[in-house]
Structure 1
């Protein structure tokens, strides 16, 4: 093999993953021109283009797909072996990349990261807040956090939270002005804070319980968001009724800044789980994260 290619493989893999020279440069801590130079050098050595570039997009050629896939697996394996060797000397080191929705970052990540920082200061955990719920493997992540129902069957999963409810909330100020809905049908006359799903692009119909059966309720209002934290903040500001996960508003309800509405309509979600490919189950970084999560009870 041409050894001059080896130092430039991370640039190839990063550009392939992000479909962007700028994003690859940011990940690698390099300048975009340096990444572009590395790609050109590899293409020149191989005698074939790996990427199709335009002013607006970057796409892999057929040769690029094959080369980046093999290079990515090789780098991942080398990194895993290096991490295992360090772990054998009592050190967990390297980079652990986790993809998680914002609600997971708010509810579970801070205490886990604090424990990891104390126990393994040589380990860097990179958390990408992603409410679009992207494919973690395609995105180059080691693990993800999702609701249990959203995890593919071929993944290893570990529970991070108990089940929790999805509930309706509004501020006392909003209710004083507009009244409180007495039924799901009453939501039609209220300002409901809508939610657009980033993954599919569709507007989410609120999933609720009515008469012992599941119903999907289409709501309308003056605001629609794609961030559940923003929906909560708007409810706190008195804008309207929000559909949120109960743990995210537990404190506000306890303090009287929000009130739960139609409690009998609430559905129960399975809770948040960490999940990762089976091939990563024994890696030191994953084991360290699992131990930190279990330490929280």
Structure 2
């Protein structure tokens, strides 16, 4: 069927429904003369009169009534489907790619995503766990998750987690052979489990502060890892002292599996932030995700 026939059939149904060229033309957004011309053209192509015209009204002929019964439901189905598509379009959908450390993924993203994904079934979230400093622009991520102090200045950053602390812990078995340190300087006498950065390969210096006095300590030990969970596992096994995020070991501390030391030297600092380029226009789905992640942060 040609496009002209389709458009004219739709116009015919509108004229028959309204019983007036004037009202139908207003509904369709065309002039009355253009609509009248279109109806004459349709009748000429079909070779049969569809409308009876009087000075006061317009009504379908028998052929017009038959055509209404035949094509009317089809146009109603089309309109219903278009409405359904519009409703689907109004629902946020799409894939959001995030780059995150394993710590942020496990303790921030996954717990907050559970209710979000249930509420928005047409949104898919992909989390790429990378403990290095990923370039989210070149890697085509929609956003990344980092500690607030490590977010680049040209990014938009939104806090999605509470303040954090790094704490020094060891298993009770370890302290059967070593005394508990009272000052960060004493860490040089201990077997410390060091962390190597995946990106630039350097070892993390343990950072402390007390009453405004900051101190960075280069620790030494027999074991070096590049994953925080490995560091915790080794600490639990009694290998040595670990310097790890408090929220990842607080249950072990409460249960007595780990002993915390140097507590007064471990201040809190800004927690995890979701960040993305300031030139990027967030999609509706991304805006909803951002709101869900920053709530209760």
TM-score scaled by length of structure 1: 0.67
Alignment of structure 1 residues 61-72 onto 2, 5 Å: none
| 1:59-112 residue CA offsets vs partner (Å, 9 max, x unmatched) | xxxxxxxxxxxxxxxxxxxxxxxxxx9898332222110001111012101122
Q: Which residue of 2 aligns with 1:124?
A: 124
Structure 2 portions without partners, runs of 5+: 1-84
Q: Alpha-carbon deviations, 1:113-144, whole Å to 9, x = none?
A: 21222111121111011111211111110000
For 2:235, the equivalent position in structure 1 comes to: 235
Q: Secondary structure at the match of 1:111?
A: helix
Deviations 1:18-75 (A, max 9, x none): xxxxxxxxxxxxxxxxxxxxxxxxxxxxxxxxxxxxxxxxxxxxxxxxxxxxxxxxxx
Residue pairs, 1:207-286, within 5 angstroms: 207-209=207-209, 212-286=212-286
> Which residue in the other structure is 2:155 paired with?
155
1:94 matches 2:79: no
Q: TM-score, normalised by structure 2?
A: 0.67
Whether contact under 8 Å (1:159, 1:271) holds in the other structure is yes
CA distance in 1, matches of 2:185, 2:117: 49
1:262 shift after superposition: 0.7
**C-alpha distance in 2 between matches for 1:220 and 1:249:** 22
**1:146 aligned counterpart, secondary structure:** strand
- Taking the TM superposition and a 5 Å limit, the aligned residue runs for 1:1-297 are 89-209=89-209, 212-296=212-296
Instruction: Let me know the Cα RMSD of the aligned residues.
Output: 2.0
Unpaired segments of 5 or more residues in structure 1? 1-84
Q: 1:210 to 1:282 in 2, by over 3 A?
A: closer
**In structure 2, distance between residues paired with 1:86 and 1:126:** 26
Task: Give the Cα separation in 1 of the matches to 2:294 and 2:209.
Answer: 33
Alpha-carbon contact 1:208-1:215 (below 8 Å) kept = yes
Tell me, yes or no, if the aligned pair for 1:194 and 1:221 is still in contact at 8 Å: yes
Instruction: Find the residue that maps to 1:115 and give its secondary structure.
Output: helix
Shift of residue 198 of structure 1?
Answer: 1.4
1:17 corresponds to which residue?
none
Q: Distance in 1 between matches of 2:96 and 2:87?
A: 14
Deviations, residues 147-172 of structure 1 (Å, cap 9, x unaligned): 11111122111111121111111111
Equivalent-residue separation in structure 2 for 1:137 and 1:221 (angstroms): 37
Q: Which moved more, 1:206-215 or 1:169-178?
A: 206-215
Whole-Å separation in 2 of the counterparts to 1:229 and 1:118: 28
The CA distance in 1 between the partners of 2:158 and 2:267, in whole Å, is 22
Alpha-carbon spacing, 1:139–1:86, altered in 2? closer, same or farther (3 Å): farther
